[in-house]
Structure 1
Amino acid sequence: MFTCVRHIAVSAIAVTALLAPRFALADVVHIETSSLTFDTGWSQRPETLVSDLNGAATFSLVNAVDNLRYQNTFYYNHTYSGMFHVSARAGYKVTGYTLSGSFVGDLRIGRSPDGSGRPGGAESIANAWAMAQDVASGAYLASGSYEASNLQGVGDFTFASGVLDQTGAFDVTFEGYAYGAASPAIWTTFDPDTGPRNHYSFSSAVMELKDPLLLTVYTEALAVPEPHAFALTLTGLALLAGVVRRRRRPAPAGMNTSFA
C-alpha cells in the first residue's frame, strides 16, 4: 500500500540537500571555543555550544529536531539537511569527532474488535547520514549512515570519524528524513432502528528525531619543543654551521696542503 510513497521518501533527501539553503533563513552562526571555531551558513534557530572542556567541544544542532518532527498526521515526509564548518585554531589540531542522536518511534495499527471489515495499516522509516570533507582538498574524512523501519521505542545512532590529524578546516554534513503513513481500520455494524453504521480504529506511525543532534569535536595542542630541547637544537645547528665554514675556508697562500 505504501511502497510507492516509501520510494519517494527515500529519494527526497537528495533533492532537499540542494534546495534547503534556498528556503531556510540565511542566519549565519559563528561560535568560538578554546581550540576551534564553528560556523553554519543557514540556521533557522541558532546552534549552541553545550560544553568546552578538556579538548572536547560539544554543539547542539537544534534545527534537525525542529524539521524531523512528527505532527500527528496520516502521512508525512520530513527532511533536513545541514552543513557545519569546523576549523582548528592556531596551535591546535582536530583529532576526531562524533555526531549522535536518537530517533523515537511508535507504530500502532487499528483493528476492529472481531477482525471484520478493512484492516488498518501503518509504516514508518527514518534515515540519517553524515559526512566530513576537507575544505582545501575536498578529500572525504569520514562518513556513516543509520536507518530504522517501523521503530518501536528509541533508536540511538552515533557517527564517529575515527582518528583524525586535521589542522585545516573541514565541513560536517548531516542529512536525514522521517517518513510515516497510516490508515484506519473500518468496519460496519447494522442497527435495526438506524441502519448501517461505520466504525473506525485509527492507526498511527510516529517517527521523529527525539532531541537535538550533538556534535562533539576533539582537539589537542600541536607539539611544541621544550625550551631546553630548543636551545640544544640551536647549539647543534651553530656548531654544524661552524664546521661547514671551516671546511669551506681557503688555505693561506704558499701553504703546502699535501702530505708526504
Structure 2
Amino acid sequence: MNSTTRLLLIAALALSAASAPAQTPVRIDTAAFSMVNQWGDAPDTLLSDSNGVTRIGLNTASASLSADTARYLDGNFYGGLFEVTVNAGYRVTGFSFSGTFEGVLYVPPNTDGTPGDGFAYNSGYIELSAGSRPYGIFYGEHAQRIDMLDGAIPVMMSSGELSLTSDFNLSLQGLVLVSAYPTTTPEHPAGIDSFASLRVRDPVFTIYTSAVPEPDRVAMLLAGLGVLGSVAIRKKIGDLQDCQYDLPC
C-alpha cells in the first residue's frame, strides 16, 4: 500500500471516529484516584486493585483495534483521553500500558505449490502520552509500530518512576490497517482470496500508587529519629569517658 492510500485511509477512519455519536463517560473509582475516559464508547473494566497496583481493562480499545480482510483494504482507529484525578492523601508513582499485537498473513499458493501472486499486509501503531491537567507539564510519550506481523508481539510502555499528587491526563491513540489481494491462476482467474488480520489483545492500563504520609506522622517520625540520635550520642560520650579511666573501649 502506498503512502497516499494509507494517509487517505487514516483520515477517513479519524473522521468516522470524530463524527460518531457522543457517549456518556464511565468513571472508575479507587481509593487512590478516579479515572474517566472522555472518548470511550464502551465501559472500561476495573480488573484488580490491591497493594498500590490498579489494573484497568480497556474494552473500547480492544473492540476498536481489530481488523481483518480477505480482499482489498480495512482498518480501525482508536483514541482515548483518560482524565485521572488523584485523591487527597495519595500519589501516583507510575503507570504503564500493556497488550499484545496479534496478526495473521496468508497468501494462497499456485496450484503447483509455488508462491502465488497474491498479497497480504498488516500494520499497527500505538502511542501513549501523558501530561498535567490543565495542560502544562509533559510527562513523556511512548510509541510502538509493527508491520507484516504473522504471529504475536507483546506491547509494553511505561512511564518510569513518578511522584504525582496533582491531576493528569493519559492519551492513548491506536491504528490497525490490513489489506489482501487474491492469487490468480489459470484455473481460478477470479482469484483465490488471501487473508490479513491484526488486533490488539488484552489492552490494559496499570497505575501504581502509594499513600502520602500525613504531616503529624512525619513529625512523629522525625521526633523519634531525633530521640534515637540523642541516645546514640550520649552512649558515645559515655564510652569515651570510660576510656579515660583505662576501662576497655
Give the TM-score category using the shorter length. Answer: 0.7 to 0.9
Contact kept? 1:68, 1:78, Cα under 8 Å: yes
Deviation at 1:49, TM superposition (A): 0.8
Q: In the alignment, which residue of structure 1 is the partner of 2:44?
A: 47
- Alpha-carbon deviation of 1:142? 2.0
In structure 1, the residue matched to 2:213 is: 223
Question: Which residue of 2, 26, 31 corresponds with 2:28?
Answer: 31
Answering whether residue 7 of structure 2 is matched by residue 8 of structure 1, we say yes
Q: What is the match of residue 193 of structure 1?
A: none
Partner of 2:201: 210
Residue aligning to 1:250: none
Asked whether 1:198 is paired with 2:189, we answer: yes
1:20 to 1:140, Cα distance in 2 relative to 1, 3 A: farther
Q: Which runs of 5+ in 2 are unaligned?
A: 224-249
CA contact (8 A) 1:186 1:201 kept: yes
Return the alpha-carbon distance in structure 2 between the equivalents of residues 149 and 42 of structure 1.
27
1:11 offset after TM fit, Å?
5.0
- Distance apart, 1:22 and its partner CA: 4.5
Q: Which amino acid aligns with 1:7?
A: R
Measure how far apart 1:226 and its partner are.
5.6
The match for 2:156 among 144, 155, 158 is 158
- Cα distance change of structure 1 residues 112 and 89 upon mapping to structure 2, 3 Å threshold: same
Q: Deviations over 1:93-137 (max 9, x none)?
A: 111001111110011112212378971111110111010111135
Q: How do residues 1-260 of structure 1 correspond to structure 2 at under 5 angstroms?
A: 2-4=1-3, 7-8=6-7, 12=11, 16=14, 20=17, 22-74=19-71, 75-114=73-112, 119-189=117-187, 198=189, 200-211=191-202, 213-225=203-215, 229-230=219-220
Change in 2 beyond 3 A, CA 1:24/1:143: farther
CA distance in 1, matches of 2:165, 2:106: 49
CA contact (8 A) 1:9 1:179 kept: no
Counterpart in the other structure of 2:235: none
Q: 1:202 to 1:226 in 2, by over 3 A?
A: same
CA RMSD of aligned residues (A): 2.8
Q: Please tell me the residue identity of whatever aligns with 1:152.
A: D
User: Larger Rg: 1 or 2?
Assistant: 1
Output one character per residue of 1:2-46: Cα deviation in whole Å (capped at 9) or x when no partner: 224663278549x72x87455243211111101111112232211
Letter in 2 for 1:208: R
Partner of 2:237: none
- TM-score, normalised to structure 2, is 0.79
- Looking at structure 2, the residues matched to 129 and 175 of structure 1 have their Cα atoms a distance apart, in angstroms, of 5
Does structure 2 retain, via aligned residues, the 8 Å contact 1:143–1:159?
A: no
* CA distance, structure 2, for counterparts of residue 92 and residue 136 of structure 1: 19
In 2, Cα distance between equivalents of 1:221 and 1:198: 68
Code of the residue aligned with 1:198 in structure 2: it is P
| Alpha-carbon distance in structure 2 between the residues aligned to 1:150 and 1:27 | 36
Matched residues in 2 for 1:158 and 1:177: separation? 16
User: Residue 202 of structure 1 aligns to which amino acid in structure 2?
Assistant: D
Alpha carbons 1:9, 1:77 under 8 Å: kept: no
**C-alpha distance 232-25 of structure 1, shift in aligned 2 (>3 A):** closer
Which residue type is aligned with residue 84 of structure 2? V
Gaps of 5+ in 1: 190-196, 234-260
**Relative to 1, partners in 2 of residues 1:6 and 1:97: Cα closer, same or farther, differing over 3 Å?**
farther
